[in-house]
Amino acid sequence: MPPLGSTPVYFGNFLVTSQVFHKTAHSFALVNIKPLLPGHVLVSPLRAASRLSDLDHAEVTDLFLTVQQVGKMVERVYGASSLNIAIQDGPAAGQSVPHLHTHIIPRQSADLDEQGGSDAIYGMLEGEDGDVGRHLWESSRKRPKFPTVDDSSRKSRTEPEMAEEAQKLALEMTRQHL
């Protein structure tokens, strides 16, 4: 059961209602199918606008206030000391789902030292690891003709795993002093 009611929420063409943990008048926050680091979540406008410049004033304001609120909660819940907040605004910038979204990634000191340092997150976002659209598409297929091999340590999560995290984070949002 989705944590915030039964109104369907779409991220691009993907039904993500069970992954949503926070909704506002114009935005929603959802857990990530394949987080780059623990607590990596997304905030997106409810309207499926592709680019930041497609949003009206109310949507932009709501999106960034939601990013701020969700960021505070994620930082607290995941014990982070910093956040990466990123928008890949258009396909040439690495956007893989044609629905504007903001990545919020909780960070801790030296968390990516083994991958080359804190700036390694940018390569992860732009590479296959950060291709949210591909991961959503692969998880939505009932039976792939050919098995998909993912030899990285990150594995796509199941719907129940994401729904469980969404419910936990929805509860945490109610505890957040906005």
Contact 135, 33 (CB under 8 A): yes
Going by C-alpha positions, the residue among 34, 54, 35 that lies closest to residue 44 is 54
Contact 123, 36 (CB under 8 A): no
Cα pseudo-dihedral 40, 45, 51, 55, rounded to 10 = -140
- Residue 88's contacts (CB-CB under 8 Å, 6 or more residues apart) are 94, 95, 96, 103, 125, 126
Among residues 99, 101, 103, 135, the one annotated as catalytic is 101
* CA separation, residue 28 to residues 4, 18, 23, 36, 146 (Å): 10, 12, 4, 20, 34
Please indicate whether residue 101 is annotated as part of the active site.
Answer: yes
DSSP state of 126: H
Q: What is the set of active-site residues?
A: 101
